[in-house]
């Protein structure tokens, strides 16, 4: 009986032993720091971030640096409504300002396996449909060669870059996907806090005669007109100013022109109809402002032609 009791005890403990083994296997598969892992693995990097209402957008790859092994695959996933790209430059290629008419910037170039020297581009990425552009929600590359590879968002340039560190196959991973996700979520929250603080700061500056067209601090972007509804009188001027460091905007009344990047209409005597600032660049002195004189009473609605799909709209109420 004593022998049978011992067998029962061991069988009674067996579920706990199996559960512990399964947990250990699960942790090893997650690739914790210090774990040696043979075979190929897939990793995820978030592209951008946003608040629940899309008013705050983040210019960051999350994580901005990731270490993988040769043969591993990275999946970039769109994590915001703002457009971004994942773009590796060719050797000797300079990073140029974003050109929305350049097919090499708009469309995918290079797929599946990154060769380490050529130009590779995801095309435009967003987690929603973007009017006027073809976008993708994910982009994947396998990295067969050891090295450090830097990539950029062509839309936001040096303000948004990341690095892939590729080590020898079978090397110990310094961090797990869970680690990267935890740090990324922490940075997402930090970007949102910065965006809300920036919005409050801009609100202190805005008046009925000064509307701020968004704003950004190099990472967090405000995708709203600050004081979007203003009330003025006939003959008054309203200045629309882009106070940001990076993100461009437009102020567009009426029907969007065929080329939203070029100005149209006469802002010195606006009584209704079509009027557009064209691109109002950030951080460009006087060129970052657009002044409109209203010569007729009425309510005039306007949008940012680049970001209205996120809710960047407003109106000017003109009284006699």
Q: Where are the domains of the chain?
A: 32-194, 206-319
Exposed e or buried b for every residue in 40-57, given b needs 16+ CB within 10 A?
A: ebebbbbbbbbbeebbbb
What tens digit of pLDDT does each residue of 2-35 get? 443 443 333 344 443 334 344 333 333 444 444 4
pLDDT value, residue 214? 96
Strand-strand pairing, 229-233 and 313-319: parallel
The span from the CA of 118 to the CA of 92, in Å, is: 10
Q: Is the pLDDT of residue 271 over 70?
A: yes
pLDDT value, residue 42? 97
The span from the CA of 138 to the CA of 44, in Å, is: 10
* Spatial CB neighbours of 115, under 8 Å, sequence gap ≥ 6: 145
pTM of the model: 0.85
Q: Percent of the chain at pLDDT above 90?
A: 80
Q: Which residue is it, tokens 């892939």?
A: 164
pLDDT value, residue 111? 79
* Radius of gyration for the chain, computed over Cα atoms and rounded to the nearest angstrom: 26
**Architecture of the domain delimited by 32-194:** Sandwich (2.60)
Query: What's the chain's average pLDDT?
Result: 89
The span from the CA of 167 to the CA of 147, in Å, is: 7
pLDDT value, residue 73? 98
The span from the CA of 153 to the CA of 35, in Å, is: 32
The span from the CA of 293 to the CA of 251, in Å, is: 13
pLDDT value, residue 38? 67
Q: Which residue is it, tokens 């061991």?
A: 10
Q: Is the pLDDT of residue 115 over 80?
A: yes
What tens digit of pLDDT does each residue of 141-153 get? 999 999 999 999 9
pLDDT value, residue 205? 96
Does domain 206-319 fall into CATH 2.60.40.420?
Answer: yes
What tens digit of pLDDT does each residue of 63-97 get? 999 999 999 999 999 999 999 999 999 999 999 98
Nearest to 298 by CA among 249, 211, 236: 236
The span from the CA of 260 to the CA of 61, in Å, is: 28
pLDDT value, residue 39? 79
Strand-strand pairing, 210-216 and 42-50: unpaired
Q: Greater confidence, 33 or 162? A: 162
């Amino acid at each position: 009986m004593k022998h049978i009791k011992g067998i029962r005890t061991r069988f009674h403990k067996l579920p706990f032993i199996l559960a512990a083994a399964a947990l250990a296997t699960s942790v090893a598969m997650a690739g914790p720091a210090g774990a040696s892992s043979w075979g190929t693995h897939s990793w995820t990097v978030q592209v951008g971030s946003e608040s629940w209402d899309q008013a705050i957008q983040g210019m960051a790859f999350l994580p901005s640096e990731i270490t993988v092994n040769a043969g591993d695959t990275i999946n970039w996933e769109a994590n915001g409504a703002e457009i971004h790209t994942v773009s590796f430059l060719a050797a000797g290629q300079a990073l140029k300002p974003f050109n929305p008419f350049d097919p090499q910037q708009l469309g995918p170039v290079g797929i599946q396996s990154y060769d380490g020297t050529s130009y590779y581009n995801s095309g435009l990425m967003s987690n929603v449909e973007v009017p006027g552009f073809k976008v993708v929600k994910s982009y994947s590359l396998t990295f067969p060669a050891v090295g450090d590879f830097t990539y950029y968002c062509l839309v936001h340039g040096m303000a948004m870059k990341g690095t892939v560190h590729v080590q020898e196959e079978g090397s110990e991973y310094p961090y797990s996907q869970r680690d990267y996700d935890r740090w990324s979520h922490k940075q997402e929250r930090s970007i949102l806090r910065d965006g809300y603080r920036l919005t409050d700061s801009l609100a202190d500056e805005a008046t009925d005669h000064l509307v701020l067209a968004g704003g950004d601090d190099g990472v967090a972007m405000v995708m709203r007109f600050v004081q979007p509804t203003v009330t003025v009188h006939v003959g008054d001027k309203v200045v629309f100013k882009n106070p940001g460091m990076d993100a461009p905007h437009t102020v567009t009344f009426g029907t969007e022109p065929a080329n939203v990047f070029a100005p149209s209409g006469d802002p010195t005597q606006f009584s209704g109809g079509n009027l557009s600032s064209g691109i109002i660049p950030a951080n460009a002195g006087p060129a970052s402002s657009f002044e409109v004189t209203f010569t007729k009473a009425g309510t005039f609605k306007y949008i940012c032609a680049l970001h209205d799909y996120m809710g960047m709209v407003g109106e000017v109420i003109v009284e006699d």
